[in-house]
Chains A and B, each alone.
Chain A
Amino acid sequence: MIIKLKAMLVKELKQMLRDPKMRMIVFVFPLLQLMVFSFALTMDVKNIDIAVVDYDRSAHSRELTDSFEASGYFVVQHRPESTEDVKKLLDEGDVRGAVVFPKGFEKGILSGRGASVQVIADGTMSNDAGIIMNYANGVVNTYAAGKSVKVTEAVTFQQRNLFNPNLLSRFYYVPGLITLMMMVTGMVLTSIAIVREKEIGTIEQVMVTPISRTEFIIGKTVPFMLTGLITTTLMFILAYFIFGIAVKGNIFLLFAVVVMSIITYLGLALLVSASARTQQQALLTSFFLMMPSALLSGYIFPVSNMPEPVQYFTCLVPMRWSLEGIIGVVIKGATAAELSKQLIWLTIHAVFFMVFASMKFKKTLE
């Protein structure tokens, strides 16, 4: 058993790591992607280009416009004559929002009756639009407080952000990206592991040897497990040094989550590989599996916002549990007891996919 396993492991590792291109794909690509995505993909909205339509042309309207600019969130790019032009600017994507001062704005403030200002946001990116409205609200409220005047429809709101007080999105996105990269590299590489041998024909020779199904599957899993662990560790180190994201919770707990997640992805990928006839089929299948996984995991759209039946369905999405587990340990410093639900679900996934994959792998041709 040990001899056979060792032979499998040595062979798999040599095949995987001999080719410099493969080494790049296994170790360097995930790190590069983590860097690029972390810098590029941010939900912090800054320097929003806006247009200002000032029908009032008063000192107060200019003052509030300055406040918008001074906030750092907005840049006034255009000052069109009428709201008609705003629509055009929005359509062409020149601005993402607009502020409209109606006639009588200053009068309203001075008379103490209150004044209103219209904020328009490009609703095509609903997330951004929400953020823009929030920022605008903030700016207007601050201004209004300073003038001790009521600004119509300016809702006062107060928000306290737990765990990420500065609302810096990378504290959430970077660990999430690591989870995503873990899934992508694990699944893509592993999904061709068995089917590649089928396609080249090497599997026939292995099938006539006394190696057992379990030995074969373990032999295919462990090397990817090892490289997956190494890459994930490197990604966390990178996250610490570049983004200052330290692991708040227990490092062993983190690795427990990581190991269970990787086993799950590898099991799923091996299942795909054992069922597919060609590498192309296997790769496409794993892409089609990864897409919904990422979308339903709660990484981009919170699970709690989904319709209830879909929320139940997400229990079957392994990435949901890896994500919650990793965010839990890294950002919240959660304990094993607090993450018991996530750990149990991950274990169920891991065992199910591994067993299913080794059952699906047959030592006969057909």
Chain B
Amino acid sequence: MNGGAFAVSADGIIKRYGGTCAVDGVSLNVRRGGIYGLIGPDGAGKTTMLRVIAGILKPDGGEAFVCGHSCEREQIAVKNSIAYMSQKFGLYPDLTVLENIKLYADLYGVEKHGMRERIDELLDFSYMKPFRHRHAGKLSGGMKQKLQLICALVHKPEVLLLDEPTNGVDPVSRRDFWRILYGLVAEGMTILMSTAYLDEAERCNVIGLMHKGKIIAEGTPEEVVEKSGIKVLSVKDGGDRSLVKKLKNLLGSDRVHAYGDRLRVLTSDIEGDTEKLLGFVPEAVVEPDRPMLEDIFMSIGGNADADENILSLIAGGTGGKTGTALDVRGLTKRFGDFTAVNNISLTVPYGEIFGFLGPNGAGKSTTIKMLCGLLPATSGEGMVGGVDIVRSPETIKSKIGYMSQKFSLYEDLKVYENIDFYGGIYGLAGAELAKRRDWSLKLAGLEDRKNLMTSELVGGWRQRLALACAILHKPSIVFLDEPTSGADPASRRLFWAIINELAGSGVTVFVSTHYMEEAEYCDRLALIFRGDMIAMGRPSELKTSQMQDKIIEVLTADPFSHMEPLSKLDGVLDVSLFGAGLHVRTVGAQEINIKKYFTDKNIDAQVQRIEATMEDVFVSMIERADGGGK
């Protein structure tokens, strides 16, 4: 219970793995009761730092302290004051929620006296009480994550270490998870976390931007953005997908990136570049925008080296087909008496990017697996690539490419051996195989690493290699199940550039994602909830004509404390954290009420009605379908 104002401090941590330095002299201090976010590209050293602080990895240099205890020498004291949630946390799938929690309570030696109350409190707090007798293996992804958090919290730690806790978790569950985190902080807990979601990073009190084992920028999110000196122009155009490529040619590829339905241009000369852009695309709306962490992130490069060479590999790589790629009606899948997918009908032409959105466990993966011929449908009919999915699911397999949610290449094979294996089972041999192997290595950016064991690959590379293996045989329809989950923003953007190119060459791409800004890159989206398709349309349609609620943005200090009172105002459906601010979902335009709330309290706040973001649409539609709201 000492250590001064800092609950966690690290001093010059160094950690080497073989020849590479994963963490190279990192010092950081986390104020008691604060949230510190570690962000950075894949392989920047975030996980290593957290492990050193958790006392499960011995650093090669430097020392870390938790509540004044040395992480190396006083492991017992450290372990009693922390909770560490790794990316692979151990829940026992055959035990119920309650049994899992009790097991962890016993492992931590929590006293029987008061344990029941503590567990009840945690279950209430996380809204998990109704599920306490459910088997952990049968929970949705978001609920598993919450259960892991409860297990980690059962011994009342002072410091919570979280390693990318919300990877692969849908926006609704992510909001819920953050509500819990803020609640914990309000009780005085200190949180040190790493995250791949930059909107989450915006909510941290302090962030540390890591790159190649060093912290290259530190401070509040605003400070980090400000210190970088980056200025941003946002460009909005009718939705020409090739615009990003054209602008990259015009201004240089590292200065332009897509974000949601806009392009963002990093600039040092606002006026000059505005003129240049308008000269190039006169119909576009070009306006200066507040720089975000996303922009900073893109400016440091990261691992992914998006360049024209990679994208040019795709162009003409697959035969440009036209017409209907996929046409299914009444697709239904039941497991026992549980309906995983209920009566879904779709018609998708060649060359379209079709997105599946929905909470964890809504039936997205099941739908994709049925379309691939991996799962037989309980009922329904249709054609995929001109082949009947009921009668000849095996024939479909030579026409499609599929990338599963879980990395499913052989980790005990080398990179090129995986390519050769998949090439072989797609019937490629000799010179043809050699050609495709070179192509795949280039696409994955692994030309110099083809002899590496696949298990040694990190983040973006894995995903690109998996994609390369999935499209080795030049399929005309590609199914990607959460392909970018857990990858850093730069890798994700490169991945989407590849998807764009694929679609441009006539390939139909089905993709599911939990990143709402990625949903904007799709031509059309289907929103799936509890097996039903509750909405379908272009992203712009979903945000305007299909969106019934209004969104009001509130930017203020300590947004969490206003959530409860705001949600009680008339006409307010729901208040949620969004980036560093709040989004208030209302029935009509309620700015006046909200503004009055802040002026009454004499609090400085920026309140304005905005166009709904994809995340607002997602949450709004899910809650309506759930009969929820207020």
Contact = CB atoms under 8 A, between A and B. Distances in A.
Do A and B belong to a common assembly? Answer: yes
Interface of A: 3-4, 6-8, 10-11, 14-15, 18-19, 200-212, 215, 363-366
Contacts of B413: 11, 14-15
Contacts of A11: 410, 413, 417, 421, 424
Interface in B423-474: 423-429, 466, 469-470
Contacts of B597: none
Nearest to B479: A208
Interface residues of B, number: 37
Interface in B351-404: 369, 372-376, 393-394, 397-398, 400-404
A203 B403 CA distance: 12
Question: What 4 A-B pairs have minimum CB-CB distances, sorted nearest first?
Answer: A7-B424, A205-B408, A208-B402, A210-B398
A11 B423 CA distance: 12
11 contacts: A3-B424, A4-B424, A4-B425, A7-B420, A8-B424, A205-B408, A210-B394, A215-B425, A364-B374, A364-B376, A364-B393
A306 to B, nearest CB: 40
Given A210-B425, A210-B427, 4 more contacts: A3-B428, A6-B424, A11-B421, A212-B394
B424 A208 contact: no
A15 B412 contact: yes
B598 interface: no
A365 B377 CA distance: 11
Contact of B374 (A6, A201, A365): A365
A7 B424 CA distance: 5
Contact of B408 (A7, A18, A204, A364): A204
B13 to A, nearest CB: 33
B406 interface: yes
B422 interface: yes
B119 interface: no
A275 B212 CA distance: 46
Nearest to B372: A208
B423 to A, nearest CB: 7
B409 interface: yes
Nearest to B407: A201
A7 B416 CA distance: 12
Nearest to A363: B394
Contacts of B424: 3-4, 6-8, 10-11
Contacts of B417: 10-11, 14
B404 A205 contact: yes
B334 to A, nearest CB: 12
Contacts of A203: 408
A209 B397 contact: yes
A18 B454 CA distance: 13
B428 A205 contact: no
A3 B433 CA distance: 11
A210 B408 CA distance: 17
B427 A4 contact: yes
A219 B222 CA distance: 58
A202 B422 contact: no
Nearest to A202: B408
A15 B410 contact: yes
Task: Identify the interface centre among B375, B393, B402, B408: most chain A CB within 10 Å of its CB.
Answer: B408
Q: Which of B397, B420, B421, B470 has the most CB of A within 10 A?
A: B421
A215 B398 CA distance: 15
A211 B469 CA distance: 15
Contact of A201 (B373, B408, B423): B408
Contact of A208 (B400, B409, B423): B400
Nearest to B335: A366
Contacts of B420: 7, 10
Contacts of A18: 412
A211 B423 CA distance: 11
Nearest to A3: B429
Nearest to B401: A208
A203 B410 CA distance: 10
A208 B375 CA distance: 10
Contact of B369 (A3, A202, A365): A365
A4 B397 CA distance: 14
A358 to B, nearest CB: 15
A210 B412 contact: no
Contacts of A10: 417, 420-421, 424
Contact of B425 (A201, A202, A209, A365): A209
Contacts of B412: 15, 18-19
A364 B373 contact: yes
B374 A202 contact: no
Contacts of B404: 201, 204-205
Contacts of B408: 200-205
A123 to B, nearest CB: 46
A208 B397 contact: yes
Contacts of A15: 410, 412-413
A204 B410 contact: no
Contacts of A7: 420-425
Interface in B93-107: none
A124 to B, nearest CB: 42
A365 B404 CA distance: 13
A212 B407 CA distance: 22
Contacts of A207: 374
Most buried by B among A14, A15, A202, A203: A202
A217 to B, nearest CB: 14
B422 A209 contact: yes
A204 B398 contact: no
Contacts of B425: 4, 7-8, 206, 209-211, 215
B395 to A, nearest CB: 8
Contacts of B421: 7-8, 10-11
Nearest to A212: B394
Interface string B259-301: 0000000000000000000000000000000000000000000
Contacts of B427: 3-4, 210
Nearest to B402: A208
A115 B469 CA distance: 89
A208 B425 CA distance: 11
Contact of B375 (A200, A202, A209, A366): A366
A16 to B, nearest CB: 10
Contact of B402 (A6, A14, A205): A205
B435 to A, nearest CB: 15
A207 B412 CA distance: 19
A366 B469 CA distance: 24
A203 B425 CA distance: 13
Interface string B22-49: 0000000000000000000000000000
B303 to A, nearest CB: 23
Question: Max chain B CB contacts within 10 Å: which of A200, A364, A366?
Answer: A364
A19 B453 CA distance: 12
A201 B424 CA distance: 20
A365 B373 CA distance: 9
Max chain B C-beta neighbours (<10 A), residue from A7, A14, A211, A364: A7
Given A10-B420, A15-B410, A210 B426 contact: yes
Contacts of B426: 209-210
A89 B400 CA distance: 77
A363 B406 CA distance: 18
Contacts of B375: 364-366
Contacts of B400: 208
A211 B420 CA distance: 14
Nearest to A208: B402
Contacts of A366: 375-376
A364 B420 CA distance: 23
